[in-house]
Structure 1
């Protein structure tokens, strides 16, 4: 099962890269739209905060980087997956800046594959940490206090 989760996460990551490459190719990532820029800057801030809180372990593609202890402080107090959430926020902002069906499809691919990675990682975390179910009742996946 663990090998399936690792490879599934890797495949989802590679699929999200296809969406990213499409957005880069079509210059559909950054714009001068102030709302999109604010969302993207906030997303980068959340990601940096999460990476600093989590430590060097967070800089790899495979899921379940938390082998020794469950991180529940910093942004992990509100989000179970602040890095994935920030990726989703960042690319949803692309739809505000570039509202067309091609951008929609690319962002949908990125968001869906990121969400799949999130689910794969949660399966591992549930197996690894007995207190993960309790933690998941307090911290939400993508939107604090809601979802």
Structure 2
């Protein structure tokens, strides 16, 4: 029960931060770096969802009972492409409106996703015996870097 409450808290913080950033920011109609990040993040997000379709996607860091380890598509490069997509999407918005509230909210979102990511990795290591090998051959969230 405590696991589910913690997972719910992480999800609420995540979606609240995303909502605040998107609500406070209007994307410019012209093509710029912020818009490019938004479009690229959507492409990465859809690619990750498509690759994970057989494993029953969930926003919770707690893996489903019948989950399968996915290591194709973007998951062949990084373990958490959906987190990367969320961070890129919100960064694209923050670039459009860089102010204290958006930067603070983006920082909270980033820290929240790092906490969620590390906890999820612990749970995935417990669920899948070959997850440690997968961790050795891929980066967490940024290809070739982290």
For 2:5, the equivalent position in structure 1 comes to 7
The question of 1:35 aligning with 2:43 is answered no
1:138 aligned partner: 137
* Greater Cα shift, 103-112 or 65-74: 65-74
Distance 1:140 1:42, change over 3 A: same
Cα distance, 1:98–1:135 mapped onto 2, change above 3 Å: same
Verify the 8 A CA contact 2:22 2:93 in the aligned structure 1: no
Unaligned runs of at least 5 residues, structure 2? none
SS at match of 2:144: coil
Q: Which digits, 9 at most, give the CA deviation of each residue in 1:113-139, with x for residues without a partner?
A: 222221221111000111111111111
TM-score normalised by length of structure 2:
0.87
- Structure 1, unmatched stretches of 5+, are none
| Cα gap change, 1:13 to 1:31, in 2 (>3 Å) | farther
Alignment of 1:106-125 (within 5 A): 106-125=105-124
1:44 aligns with 2:70: no
Matched residue SS, 1:55: helix
Q: Is the 8 A contact 1:8 1:117 kept in 2?
A: no
Q: Is the 8 A contact 1:84 1:114 kept in 2?
A: yes
Q: Which sits farther off after the overlay, 43-52 or 64-73?
A: 64-73
- Partners of 1:68 and 1:106 in 2: how far apart? 31
Structure 2: distance between partners of 1:80 and 1:17: 21
TM-superposed deviation, 1:34: 0.9
